[in-house]
A and B are shown apart, each in its own frame.
Chain A
């Protein structure tokens, strides 16, 4: 069965420190993965999708099929990065997404 696991519920980092949010998936097909971000009480916004291989707001994520992971990284965290981050897996051709439980990131000065 398809599953997305984000093992950290809360990640607290200092401004300027590196941050890595873990995401592991279970899927029998060829995975398509996304990172969404939700700032306080706002709508979810797409941060990254693995097929575009972009760097958005300094974040990058690499799909590792061997480790079935899609970890999100940023070398220098900023206070405005404080938000809830969700990893999501596309599980069918109609756009059905399986979300992880989310990781709350708190960046302190």
Chain B
């Protein structure tokens, strides 16, 4: 049982390039989330999807778009990467009143 799987694990981009981070869960969870983790700031919610077919902005959505492709997959897209988006990105999922399960993260560097 893989849980929450994120790809890629590492990526280096140049400013202005686009990129899609992939997230898939095999736990039949309804809700999925994208966070970014920055030193001294904890985890901040970028976007979330309460259920298949819905997405909502979190705390820091600017510069990002998301797609809830189906119940399993929730992707995060950077249309024009900026150095300020250098971060570690975590995907998470949950269902009901259970706590969130996290993926291993994607380390993204933008030069």
Instruction: Please name the residue on chain A nearest to B92 by beta carbon.
Output: A44
B105 CB contacts on chain A under 8 angstroms: 43
Contacts known (A94-B50, A96-B48, A96-B58); A46 close to B43, Cβ less than 8 A: no
**Given contacts A42-B104, A43-B103, A99 and B48 within 8 Å (CB-CB):** no
| A65 beta carbon closer than 8 Å to chain B | no
Size of interface on A: residues with Cβ below 8 Å to B:
20
Question: Is there an interface contact between A44 and B90, defined as CB atoms closer than 8 Å?
Answer: yes
Known: A101-B40, A102-B42. A95 touches B104 (CB 8 A): no
B74 to chain A, nearest CB (A): 13
Of the candidates B42, B58, B104, the one whose C-beta lies within 8 Å of that of A86 is: B42
B31 near A99 with CB under 8 A, answer no
A46 pairs with B103, CB closer than 8 A: no
Q: Given known contacts A34-B99, A46-B99, is B90 in contact with A86 (CB within 8 Å)?
A: no
- Judge whether B72 is part of the interface by a CB distance below 8 angstroms: no
* A101 CB contact (under 8 Å) in B42, B58, B104: B42
Q: Is A12 an interface residue (CB 8 A)?
A: no
A43 to B103, CA, bound (A): 6
Q: Are A43 and B45 in contact (CB under 8 A)?
A: no
Interface size on B, residues (CB 8 A): 23
* Residue numbers in B under 8 Å from A4 (CB-CB): 42
Q: List B contacts of A49 (CB < 8 A).
A: 99
Q: For A99, what are the chain B residues with a Cβ–Cβ distance below 8 Å?
A: 35, 42-44
Tell me whether A43 and B42 are in contact (CB under 8 A): no
Q: Quick check: is A45 within 8 A (CB to CB) of the other chain?
A: yes
Binary flags per residue of A60-88, CB closer than 8 Å to B gives 1, else 0: 00000000000000000000000000100
Are B50 and A43 touching (Cβ within 8 A)?
Answer: no
Measured CB to CB, the nearest residue on chain A to B95 is A95
Q: For residue A96, which residues in chain B have a CB less than 8 angstroms away from its CB?
A: 33, 45, 48, 58
Q: How far apart are the CA atoms of A36 and B42 in the complex, in Å?
A: 11
A binding-site residues for B, Cβ under 8 Å: 4, 6, 9, 34, 36, 42-46, 49, 86, 94-97, 99-102
